Amino acid sequence: GVLIVVPPVSNDTGIKMVPDNAHPFQAPGPNDQRGPCPGLNTLANHGYLPRNGIASFEQIITAVREGFNMEHDLAGALAGFAMLARGNAFLDLVSIGGVSPLIPVLPGAIDGPKPPGGIATHGRFEGDVSMTRQDAAIGDNVHFQDSLYDELLLYVGKFGDNSPVTGNSSIVTTKVMQEFKFARFVEDQIKNPVLQYHAGRNSLSYGEAAFVLNFFANGTDGTLSTPVMGSFFRNQTFPDDWYRRSSPGNITLIGQGVDEIRNAHPVPPGANAPNGTYVLDAPINSCSDVYFNLAVENLPASYSKATGVFKQNVDTLLAAVAKAFGCPVIFPTGPS
């Protein structure tokens, strides 16, 4: 095994141009893993993450700071959750795409006989009501979908701010996300008979919309233009003359974004019933329902069988997830 050590908090957290000369864009090769996260895909295409798309917990934390100025604890929670949900926490390796021959079955086949699926695997992390990927039950939940992105552009046209350069409505705003995210929910609620939008996925999905506004925007003025957004989503490359945000983006900032976007058209946690109605979940009433649903109900209880370095790593990663939410660690109780 490989012992996971949480990296120290870096003080390289100011505005700077990205990418630097050491990180040119290079299209992925046929065996390189890419998946449902435009942020991680972009980082791998520039070599901030290994270009093969197989990364360690530590590499992810460093890369999202370098490239996007994502704050240390938020990065640790996302990377830790990804590793526990869909990676190999014994070897400290997770695929940012699908199953990889470089990532074997967990020791003792603790999470079942199949190798960890990578973050593209549906469930636990990848979930429904994404912006530019379909629900797994409807279509392609991994790759960029032009039709969905065109819909997003329609909402920018209707609800965005006018660009001082073009005079057209092409600045992506909170209002755009408020309307687009609600439209995406309504579509999938009707089209996806097995829609799952429980507390964890619900907040992550709004959080990803807040990521777009807060991490893709140009750090110079904090605004997000349509071409810049397109560079990340469509081409998975940093745009020209782009600066990462000028202060670390942390979970408080993203939580405020989630509330702002969701409160315009509230959609509480729930799931579709067989008769097609959206049934709300009972409140969990824990330290954080999002934390509890994601990291306790959703991760396999079988992690309790880990020993040695594997166990140390599981404990380190569980602590990294709980820390960002300000919650005490509760051991997972979910199915394998």
In the complex, the residues that contact ligand HEM under the rule CB under 6 A are: 36-40, 60, 64, 68, 70, 75, 78-79, 82, 119, 125-127, 130-133, 208, 211-212, 215
Name residues contacting Mg ion, limited to 288-317 (CB under 5 A): none
Q: Which is nearer to ligand HEM, 185 or 211 (CB)?
A: 211
Residue 211 touches which member of Mg ion, ligand HEM, none, C-beta under 5-8 Å by kind: ligand HEM
**Tokens 């509230």 belong to residue:** 266
**Helix, strand or coil for residue 249?**
strand
Per-residue b or e along 257-268, where b marks 16 or more CB atoms closer than 10 Å to that residue's CB? bbebbbeeeebe
Residue 117 touches which member of Mg ion, ligand HEM, none, C-beta under 5-8 Å by kind: none
Q: Kindly list the distances between the CA atom of residue 159 and the CA atoms of 179, 235, 260, 317, in Å, as whole numbers in the listed order.
A: 8, 24, 15, 40
The binder of Mg ion chosen from 130, 170, 196, 237 (CB under 5 A): 130
Comparing every residue's Cβ against ligand HEM, the nearest one is 39
Query: Pick from 133, 110, 107: which is nearest to 121 by CA?
Result: 133
Residue 215 touches which member of Mg ion, ligand HEM, none, C-beta under 5-8 Å by kind: ligand HEM
Which value, to the nearest 10 degrees, does the dihedral of the CA atoms of residues 18, 24, 27, 33 take?
Answer: -70
Under 8 Å between Cβ of 127 and 137? no
Does residue 225 touch Mg ion according to CB under 5 A?
no
Residue 267 touches which member of ligand HEM, Mg ion, none, C-beta under 5-8 Å by kind: none
CB of 43 to ligand HEM, least distance (A): 8
CB of 152 to ligand HEM, least distance (A): 9
Measured between alpha carbons, how far is 270 from 282 in angstroms, rounded to an integer? 8
Sign of CA dihedral 324, 327, 328, 329: negative
Q: Which is nearer to ligand HEM, 230 or 305 (CB)?
A: 230
Q: How many Cβ atoms sit within 10 Å of the Cβ of residue 286?
A: 16
Q: Which is nearer to Mg ion, 18 or 204 (CB)?
A: 204
DSSP state of 60: H
Residue 200 touches which member of Mg ion, ligand HEM, none, C-beta under 5-8 Å by kind: none
Residue ranges that bind Mg ion, judged by CB under 5 A: 126, 130, 133, 141
